[in-house]
Amino acid sequence: MRSRPLRSRLTDLISTLGEEATALPIGIFILVSVIKSAIILFVLLTAVAYTVWLERKVVGRMQNRWGPTRVGPFGLLQPAADGIKFLFKEDLTPPHVYKPLFLAAPLIAVIFALTSISVIPFGNSIRLFGYDIPLQITDVNIGLLLILGVTSMGVYGVALAGWSSNNKYSLLGGLRASAQMVSYEIALGLSLVGVLIQSSSFSLRAIVDAQGGRFLGFIPRWNIFHGQFIGFFIYLMAAYAETNRIPFDLPEAETELVAGYHTEYSAMKFAMFFMAEYANMVTVACLATLLFFGGWHGPVFGPPLLQAVLPVFWFVAKVFCFLFLYIWVRGTLPRFRYDQLMDFGWKFLLPLAIANLVATAIAVAW
């Protein structure tokens, strides 16, 4: 007698997580969600590890050196060697730190960085054993808001790391990071409003679907070609600042702050900050692909199996291009001064984002 109300409540709860819940039995839905979560987490962590390898190789080539070559062919086993080194390295905790927050800060940073990937769709859907399986852990109708909220929580990990270290260099790095991330989040959020006006949805899958089709028969109907080039530029600049990457890496400026907010961290705690930074890079690249470059839309041809694989390929290829652009900028541009960084965010990007928002609203209303 008690199982029926409990089952109905569970069905209602799961149905709020996505449309696929209504198409799959509860047991199969939970099993599929667990499998998708495990696969996506494995792929994300592997992508994080090999983005580090790619950065070292590409920047090495730009600077006329080799990069990793010793461990495995082309240095491909270097990420595994680095991971083993971090696991067995002595984990030092200085006596002057505030230990509870000192230990919690890297956990906060990496957990929120990995959580945001849960609502990223990386393909349409595939049909297995008579069921349509969306290529996404869960589809919520406010996916974009969820990602912005989760990623903005990552600033707490950085700020608490700087404060709890009880080190003046770490504290300055944490203060810089919190001020920088809060400042550029405003421009980043406003840069996405134009996309939301054009697609009329917060769902990432609906935003991608709105970019289907072509102009004049050959121009993709991607948002970057649909009046949002300025919005994309603002998003890209703000994303560099949000992830503390060159030329916006003032929270980690070694010439001024030793290493910034993670100066007192070692072994796996330091590696967790590293993982969080590169996981945020992957998330930013995925969002740019979904919001401005049509997501998984691209030429689809051939037999059914190839047609199912090609959308995922196009999505991964676009994400890879953004990650390469991240690395290219790091090997090219010098670091800002802090006053230049803040002026650029408040005096240039923010007014430009407001102007783009107003122009998009007028164009859509027209």
pTM for the full predicted model? 0.84
CA distances from residue 102 to 72, 167, 338 in whole angstroms, order as listed: 36, 12, 26
Q: Are 157 and 113 in contact (CB under 8 A)?
A: no
Domain boundaries in the chain? Answer: 92-365
Q: What is the DSSP letter of 126?
A: E
AA identity, residue 15: S
Number of H helices, E strands in the chain: 15, 4
d(CA 306, CA 335): 44
Taken in order 18, 280, 342, 59, the sign of the CA dihedral is negative
128/108 Cα distance (integer angstroms): 36
- Taking only the tens of pLDDT, the chain with its 366 residues reads 444 555 555 555 555 444 444 456 777 778 877 888 888 889 888 988 899 899 999 988 888 888 888 888 888 898 888 888 888 888 888 888 888 888 888 898 888 888 888 888 887 777 777 777 777 887 788 888 888 888 888 888 888 888 888 888 888 888 888 888 888 888 888 989 888 888 888 888 888 888 877 777 778 888 888 878 898 999 999 988 888 887 888 777 766 777 778 888 888 888 888 888 889 889 899 999 999 988 888 887 877 778 778 888 899 999 999 999 988 988 888 888 888 888 898 999 999 999 999 988 888 887
